[in-house]
C-alpha cells in the first residue's frame, strides 16, 4: 500500500489541492456571511488555488503566444510577398519609363534628320578581345547592306561589315580597323578617328600647327565615302604636342557609350563616289549626262542593216 501511495503521491497531492480549490470556490458566497472560520479557510485555500491554476495559466500563455506568433509570421510573409510584388511592378514601370523616353528621343531624332533610318536592336556583342563589333536584328531582307553607317541620336556607332537575311554585323568605331575622317567644329581642324586595341579612340594625322583643344566637338567630314557630314564622333579628351614630329597626339572621348547600346539606326544608303568619267565638265551640272541616241538615226541604222548588199 505504501508503495502504491509512493508511486502516485504527486498526482494525489495535485488532486487534493484541486478539490480544496473547488471547495473554496463553492463556499465563496458563504464566506461573507460566516465568521472567522470561513475567513481562515479562505486564507488557507487561496494559495492552494493559485498553485493549481499556475500550470494552467502558463500553458494558456504559451499557447496564446504560439498562436499569436503563427499569426504574426503569416502576416509577415504576406507583407513580404506584397513588398516583393510592388518592387517588381516598380522596376517594370521604371524600365517602361526609360524605354518610353528613349523611343521619344529616337523619334525626335528621326524627325529632325531627313535621312532613311532603319531602327534596329542590338542582339549580341562580340566577345573577342581583338575585335569590337555588335550584331543587330536587321539584315539583308530589310534592305541592309555592308558599308551602311550605323548611328544613334548620340552619335556614330560604326559601319555594317556583313549581313545575313535577318541579322547584320556592325564594326564599331572603336575597333582598330575603323577609320573615320573627322573635323573639329570650332576650328575645322581635320584628322582621322581610329580605334585602339584596348577599346580607346584617338584622332590621328592632326597636323602640328592645327588649332585643336580639349573639349572640341568632333564631327564626321563626309570625305571618307561612308558617313554623311555632320554626325557626332565625340569630344577631344586630351592633346599632346611633342617637341618633334609632324602630328599631334589627340585622345577622343566617343559620344556613344558602346557598352550600353540597346537600339541603333541603320542609315539605308551607301555613299559611293562616282568614277572620273561621270563628272561633268560644265559649271551648271554636277554629273555628266550621257548622250542619248537620236531615234531617227537609230531607225536608219536598223534599215541599212536589213538591206541586202547589191551584186
pTM of the model: 0.56
296: enclosing H helix or E strand: helix 295-306
**The CATH number of domain 117-267, selected from 2.60.40.10, 1.10.630.10, 3.60.110.10, 2.40.10.340:** 2.40.10.340
Q: State pLDDT tens for residues 214-229.
A: 999 999 998 888 898 8
SS3 state at 168: strand
Across the range 63-89, mean pLDDT stands at 71
Burial 136-165 (b: 16+ CB within 10 A, else e): bebbeebebeeebbbbbbebbbbbbbbbee
Strand 263-267 with 117-125, pairing: antiparallel
Domain spans, the chain: 1-112, 117-267
Across the range 193-216, mean pLDDT stands at 91
Torsion of CA 243, 246, 252, 258, to 10 degrees: -130
**pLDDT at site 40:** 59
| Band (104; pLDDT cuts 50, 70, 90) | low
Give dist(CA 284, CA 281) in Å, integer. 9
Beta bridge partners of 236: 252
Give dist(CA 74, CA 286) in Å, integer. 81
- Between 307 and 235, where is the model more confident? 235
Amino acid at each position: 500500500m505504501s508503495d502504491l501511495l509512493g508511486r502516485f503521491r504527486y498526482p494525489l497531492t495535485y488532486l487534493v489541492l484541486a478539490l480544496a480549490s473547488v471547495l473554496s470556490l463553492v463556499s465563496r458566497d458563504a464566506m461573507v456571511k460566516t465568521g472567522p472560520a470561513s475567513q481562515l479557510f479562505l486564507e488557507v485555500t487561496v494559495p492552494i488555488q493559485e498553485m493549481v491554476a499556475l500550470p494552467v495559466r502558463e500553458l494558456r500563455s504559451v499557447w496564446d503566444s504560439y498562436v499569436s506568433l503563427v499569426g504574426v509570421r503569416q502576416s509577415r510573409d504576406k507583407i513580404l510577398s506584397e513588398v516583393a510584388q510592388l518592387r517588381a511592378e516598380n522596376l517594370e514601370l521604371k524600365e517602361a519609363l526609360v524605354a518610353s523616353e528613349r523611343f521619344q528621343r529616337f523619334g525626335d531624332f528621326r524627325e529632325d534628320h531627313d535621312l532613311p533610318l532603319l531602327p534596329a536592336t542590338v542582339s549580341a556583342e562580340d566577345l573577342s578581345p581583338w575585335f569590337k563589333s555588335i550584331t543587330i536584328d536587321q539584315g539583308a531582307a530589310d534592305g541592309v547592306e555592308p558599308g551602311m553607317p550605323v548611328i544613334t541620336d548620340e552619335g556614330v556607332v560604326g559601319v555594317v561589315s556583313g549581313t545575313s537575311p535577318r541579322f547584320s554585323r556592325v564594326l564599331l568605331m572603336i575597333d582598330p580597323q575603323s577609320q573615320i575622317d573627322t573635323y573639329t567644329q570650332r576650328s575645322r581642324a581635320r584628322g582621322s578617328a581610329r580605334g585602339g586595341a584596348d577599346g580607346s579612340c584617338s584622332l590621328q594625322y592632326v597636323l602640328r600647327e592645327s588649332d585643336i583643344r580639349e573639349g572640341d566637338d568632333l564631327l564626321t567630314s563626309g570625305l571618307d565615302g561612308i558617313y554623311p557630314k555632320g554626325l557626332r564622333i565625340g569630344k577631344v579628351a586630351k592633346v599632346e604636342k611633342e617637341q618633334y614630329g609632324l602630328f599631334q597626339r589627340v585622345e577622343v572621348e566617343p559620344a556613344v557609350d558602346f557598352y550600353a547600346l540597346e537600339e541603333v539606326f541603320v542609315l539605308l544608303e551607301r555613299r559611293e563616289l562616282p568614277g572620273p568619267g561621270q563628272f561633268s565638265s560644265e559649271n551648271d551640272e554636277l554629273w555628266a549626262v550621257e548622250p542619248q541616241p537620236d531615234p531617227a538615226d537609230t531607225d536608219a541604222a536598223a534599215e541599212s542593216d536589213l538591206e541586202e548588199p547589191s551584186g
